[in-house]
Structure 1
Amino acid sequence: MRASVAVSEDRRIDPSGALPRPADTAGEERLRRLRVIALVVPAAFLLLVLLARGTIVRTVSPTNGHLLLDGVLVAGTLAFSLVMFSFIDRSYRALLQQNRDLAAIDAVVVAARGAYTADAVAHESLEAILQTTGAASARIAAAHPTDPRRTADTWYLESPVRSGGGSAPETVPLLSGPEAIGSLTLEGIDPATSALTPAAYAGIGRAIGSALQRARYMSHLQQECHDAALAERDRIAREMHDSLAQALGAAHFRLTAIGTHPDVESSPEVHHELADLAATCHDAYGDVREAILGLREAGRADRTLLQSLDSYVEKFSRQSGIATALVTPWRGWTCRPTTRSR
């Protein structure tokens, strides 16, 4: 993807055009009329000639009148055949155009549907658009849904097989429902290879706009869920620090103090039992402190995995006074031991 460049918007496509549909009611009505014409017009023409045969023969001559009627029948048949072939050819071309439009829209929809981020949606859509339209380059500009003041995101892609030239730039609005969120600009479209209708371009704009909004809102929702999870982790860590960790620390301190009492020291069994309880409280306190550290350091969206590991190892080394080293296949990292008074 290259940096976006400004392009002119010489020709705009009306976004209100209806999408072509496989079972178009107008096409069915046209076909029914064509069938009626194919049956009624030849029969009416033949009936008219038969009714007028006697009058024409008497008016012209018995010999030339029949020849004239035969010529009229042949000419009428040829004219009717040419008209019908013209209608059939026009309907066939309209059907091919409809299939091209639907194929182009479907290619963009499939490409955008398989992506889950705004960047992926834009890149996949641009590649599909360049393949289906034959454009030399395409650019997507879309405003940010959560912050209208933010600069619009732009994506630009050039065709590897086509250069500039062709028709004037096509600018298609990107719609998400009734809302316009940006524009799609196509440059260098070759009229000989691209035969999409304005309705097809409008359908492509709606497909890209909806996919972009979906990906952006999904990303925004994931970020909100992630932030909420981090906030809940911090809350749990604070509660553990203010309640459980302090209670265990106080219990360890009091048990240690009681163990130094002369009456307790005089009883080896009681002294040993209190020492075991104090050691258990100390171990539990260490486990709680480690759990608090894990809750506060895990899952930070603004850090990479190595940065999170660095921070965790550094805090663990600082709190425990243990020399800690983190070695990865990409680099080596060593945390200096920190002296801590006991």
Structure 2
Amino acid sequence: MERNVPAPLPAEQRLRRLKRIAILAPAAYMLLLLLGSQLLERLLPSPWAIRLAVIALVLIGIVIFAEWIFRIIARQQATLAQQNAELQALHEAGLAIAADLDLDKVLAQVVDQARRLIGARYGLLVMRDQVGMPPIVFASGLPADRECQLSEITSHGLLDQVLREGRTLRIDDLYLYPGERRFPEGHVTLRMLLGVPIRSGDTILGALYLADREDDTPYSPQDQLRLERFATQAALAITNARLHRRITSLAIAEERERIAREMHDSLAQVLGYVITKASAARELLGQAGRAGDAEQHLRQLEQAARDAYADVREGILGLRTGLDPSQTLLQALQRYLERWREQSGIAVDLAVEPPGDELTGLSPIAELQLLRIVQEALTNVRKHAGATHVTVQIRKAGDAVTVTVTDNGSGFDPEAHERTGYPRFGLATMHERAEAVGGRLRIRSQPGHGTTVEVEIPLRQQALAVGGTDARLDRG
């Protein structure tokens, strides 16, 4: 049945009690000596004998009192050492389950670490899933073909109350509850069980069960308290992992939406143009004397196909270029610029101020968004600017990083572009990415004088806008 752990005596209260005993015990002993000295005067003939007897009694009292005090101190030190060891073990277990953000790995770590923390033979974690769906089960210490069996005995009766009602159970002998030990045939023998709920606020996320200790001793109230504390840490780690999974799913959905939008704005239009030109060329080929016109349409169709091919290759390059944990933003950018130069045939230079700076201080999300903005700006240069040279400059000053992409192309009128309201050249996407990490984007351009895209992002800006969450995806 459920057992409540007795509340330990507060440290201050124990100390006050010890102080009172340390004062009252010697005082009481001295009072006994005074009373006993009168008896000694009757029993002993000389004053010297009486004094020696009193001194002997005082020394005996001192030795006994000192021994008692030192035993208390030793016991307190042992208790503190044990508590420190338990806290250290609990801390290490908490670090282990918080070291990963993959939900399945976190759940497996929870049951493994709980079993090691308490010294249990078997462990089981049962997590609630969606309504109407079977629970998610993770086992530890059991053969793979027996893992599902342990979950069968937790789905009814007292054991189910842990998951259903959030009750803590500590059972010394399951055989005292015949209705509760419905073990499947061939199941491992279980006798002791400790089960605690895993809560997040008022919500029961799941239940953690431990069966039988390695040393075959019953679970103690201290074991229950430790497991309950561990369950609190586990709830936080599980909640974080679930949030990370949700953010990752949202990031995937948003990246798909972005790719679909870009395909609609570029590739779909090019393919529509190709279809139109191919149809026109086919009709002209069937008409006498129109071969020259058909050839012109075919040349235009070929150029459109080449442009689409370049767009696809550049899109693939951009998607393949992420931020690996083993490399810096500058290294990823240098690698991308080299490949972009090879594909586009446009010269590109990279300048960093101050020279040699590795651009540390940006959050992972900000780093990825900065890389994506540079990629988008270079895509615009290749498709629309007609440029022969591009300069990418990165400047770190104060509490911000500024990146400029400058080309020597045809340029355009930014004011006329804003009046059209049409997100040409991917400017709207770049603005969204900059704002997602607390930055700002500026465009400077003039017809015939090239274009400069400038983005400024604050250091360590932790923007959690959904548009920036794909940084976690690229970092794996």
- Normalised by the shorter chain, which TM-score bucket? 0.5 to 0.7
Number of aligned residue pairs: give it.
271
- 1:201-246 deviations in Å (ceiling 9; x for gaps): 1111112222122212211221122122223323433444664432
Partner of 2:116: 131
The answer as to 2:259 corresponding to 1:233 is yes
- 1:102-135 deviations in Å (ceiling 9; x for gaps): 1331232122122222221122233333333221
Closer/same/farther in 2, CA of residues 218 and 172 from structure 1, 3 Å limit: same
**Residue number among 6, 24, 27 corresponding to 2:11 in the alignment:** 27
Q: Offset of 1:185 from its aligned partner? A: 0.6
Partner of 1:114: 99
**Residue number among 180, 188, 193 corresponding to 2:204 in the alignment:** 180
The 3-state SS of whatever aligns with 1:172 is: strand
Conserved in 2, the CA contact under 8 Å of 1:165 and 1:188? no
Conserved in 1, the CA contact under 8 Å of 2:192 and 2:219? no
**Greater C-alpha radius of gyration:** 1
Conserved in 2, the CA contact under 8 Å of 1:140 and 1:155? yes
Q: In structure 2, what is the Cα distance between the partners aligned to 1:112 and 1:29?
A: 35
Conserved in 2, the CA contact under 8 Å of 1:13 and 1:201? no
The answer as to 2:183 corresponding to 1:157 is no
Q: In structure 1, what is the Cα distance between the partners aligned to 2:295 and 2:68?
A: 109
TM-score w.r.t. the length of structure 1 is 0.60
Correspondence list, 1:97-108, <5 A: 97-108=82-93
Q: In structure 1, what is the Cα distance between the partners aligned to 2:85 and 2:37?
A: 54
Closer/same/farther in 2, CA of residues 216 and 231 from structure 1, 3 Å limit: same
Q: In structure 2, what is the Cα distance between the partners aligned to 1:62 and 1:177?
A: 78
| Higher strand content, 1 or 2 | 2
Q: In structure 2, what is the Cα distance between the partners aligned to 1:166 and 1:28?
A: 41
Q: In structure 2, what is the Cα distance between the partners aligned to 1:284 and 1:13?
A: 76
Q: In structure 1, what is the Cα distance between the partners aligned to 2:189 and 2:56?
A: 53
Correspondence list, 1:11-22, <5 A: none
Q: Offset of 1:80 from its aligned partner? A: 2.1
The 3-state SS of whatever aligns with 1:183 is: strand
Closer/same/farther in 2, CA of residues 84 and 159 from structure 1, 3 Å limit: farther
**Structure 1: unaligned runs, 5 residues or longer:** 1-9, 266-270, 300-342
Give aligned-pair identity as a percent.
Answer: 18
Partner of 1:312: none
**Structure 2: unaligned runs, 5 residues or longer:** 144-186, 320-476
**Residue number among 202, 211, 236 corresponding to 1:210 in the alignment:** 236
Closer/same/farther in 2, CA of residues 74 and 203 from structure 1, 3 Å limit: same
Quote the RMSD (CA, aligned, Å): 4.6
Conserved in 2, the CA contact under 8 Å of 1:57 and 1:66? no
The residue type equivalent to 2:62 in the other structure is T
Higher RCO by CA contacts (8 Å cutoff, separation 6 or greater) = 1
Conserved in 2, the CA contact under 8 Å of 1:112 and 1:124? yes
Q: Offset of 1:170 from its aligned partner? A: 0.6
Conserved in 2, the CA contact under 8 Å of 1:258 and 1:264? yes
Closer/same/farther in 2, CA of residues 77 and 191 from structure 1, 3 Å limit: farther
